[in-house]
Chains A and B, each alone.
Chain A
Amino acid sequence: DTGVSQNPRHKITKRGQNVTFRCDPISEHNRLYWYRQTLGQGPEFLTYFQNEAQLEKSRLLSDRFSAERPKGSFSTLEIQRTEQGDSAMYLCASSAAKGSYEQYFGPGTRLTVT
């Protein structure tokens, strides 16, 4: 079991550029979550998938953010026209649909927008 992996681990980009992050969940988990975390705060929910279906998206999420999970396995999170306020740690987590609902988190992708 390799756990949840995320790539890249760090990304530095200029304001206005697009970025894409990838998350590979634990293979038998069919739920996948994206969160954003800034210093001193808890993870903030962005969106989640059950298999390939995106079941919920945060109302706080602007339309510059989009996420996909095309085959119900890995997922990508894209941010278009990045802004300095997008600088944060982006965390991915996966869980089994039934059971204890515990989420297994990846190491995160740290985004810095200059």
Chain B
Amino acid sequence: SQKIEQNSEALNIQEGKTATLTCNYTNYSPAYLQWYRQDPGRGPVFLLLIRENEKEKRKERLKVTFDTTLKQSLFHITASQPADSATYLCALDKARGQNFVFGPGTRLSVLP
């Protein structure tokens, strides 16, 4: 069956450290994989998209990798700050960018 898993339900790290979140999928062949941030009571906010032929994408303190052989994406936040505390969702497309399915999310807490 098709499945998307994100490493853990919750992750606590110390301010200034690098947070690494994992997204693993089974029985999908996505052309695109996205990462979103969601704060309590609000809709998700787009962060980054990576294509199947890209290994890595960066944006400021964020870095995403995409390994289609391992069926895994890693999302890194370097020099983490308490303001980075939120739930992070990965989403992958089911049909060439037309329809995206979301993982359950990882709740990140950056402790001062």
Contacts and interface: CB of A to CB of B under 8 A. Distances in A.
B89 A101 contact: no
B54 to A, nearest CB: 12
Contact of B102 (A44, A100, A104, A106): A44
Which residue of B9, B44, B49, B105 has the most chain A CB atoms within 10 A of its CB atom? B44
A42 B105 contact: yes
Interface in A29-85: 33, 35, 40-45, 48, 55-56
B98 A56 contact: yes
Given A42-B89, A42-B104, A93-B43, A101 B32 contact: yes
A101 B49 contact: yes
Interface string B68-80: 0000000000000
Nearest to A42: B102
A15 B49 CA distance: 40
Interface string A80-114: 00000000000101000000111111111000000
A101 B35 CA distance: 12
Contacts of B42: 107-108
A91 B103 contact: no
Contact of A102 (B34, B43, B101, B103): B34
Nearest to B93: A101
A91 B46 CA distance: 14
A26 to B, nearest CB: 12
A102 B100 CA distance: 10
Interface of A: 4, 33, 35, 40-45, 48, 55-56, 91, 93, 100-108
5 contacts: A43-B89, A91-B43, A93-B43, A104-B46, A105-B44
